[in-house]
């Protein structure tokens, strides 16, 4: 009889703990949604800005590239939201360049965005050089 009461008491305690944890999770989920919403409003209100770091040409791929550090995009945002901001706010402004990659940089304390566009420029000088100097 006592063991049955003990089991019932333990079950009730466990159920109480489960309910308490469920409430904690619901509260935390709400808090996180509000925090993400605040960041979203901050980014949408100011707009994501970009600052050029470098630009160049990669002869192996035939691509002209530009690298930017994104300002006003918080470091602790999930990558899904960062990609959404890039797609909606940045890419239309850098067209015809297209998205290549994005990383977070501790050095620049911001997101590093790389965009590229085809620029198939033949940079080989061998044939022209041989014709010009060894006739």
Residues 65-122 have pLDDT tens digits of 999 998 878 777 788 888 988 898 889 999 999 999 999 999 988 899 999 999 877 7
> What is the bridge-based pairing of β-strands 110-118 and 63-71?
antiparallel
Report pLDDT for 109. 86
* pTM (2 d.p.): 0.59
Domain count, the chain: 2
Q: How far apart are CA 62 and CA 125, in angstroms?
A: 16
Residues 41 and 64 in one domain: no
Range of the domain at 54: 48-118
Q: What is the CA radius of gyration of the chain?
A: 28
Both 55 and 113 in one domain: the answer is yes
- Is 24 in a helix, a strand, or coil? helix
DSSP 8-state code for residue 120 = -
> 57 with 86, same domain?
yes
């Amino acid at each position: 009889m006592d063991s049955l009461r003990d089991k019932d008491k333990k079950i009730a305690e466990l159920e109480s703990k489960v309910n308490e944890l469920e409430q904690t999770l619901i509260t935390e989920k709400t808090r996180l949604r509000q925090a993400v919403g605040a960041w979203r409003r901050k980014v949408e209100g100011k707009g994501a800005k970009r600052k050029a770091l470098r630009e160049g040409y990669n002869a192996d791929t035939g691509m002209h590239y530009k690298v930017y550090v994104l300002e006003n995009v918080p470091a602790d945002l999930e990558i899904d939201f960062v990609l959404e901001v890039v797609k909606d706010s940045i890419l239309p402004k850098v067209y015809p360049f297209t998205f290549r990659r994005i990383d977070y940089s501790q050095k620049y304390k911001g997101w590093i965005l790389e965009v590229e566009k085809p620029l198939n420029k033949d940079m080989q000088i061998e044939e022209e050089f041989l014709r010009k100097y060894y006739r």
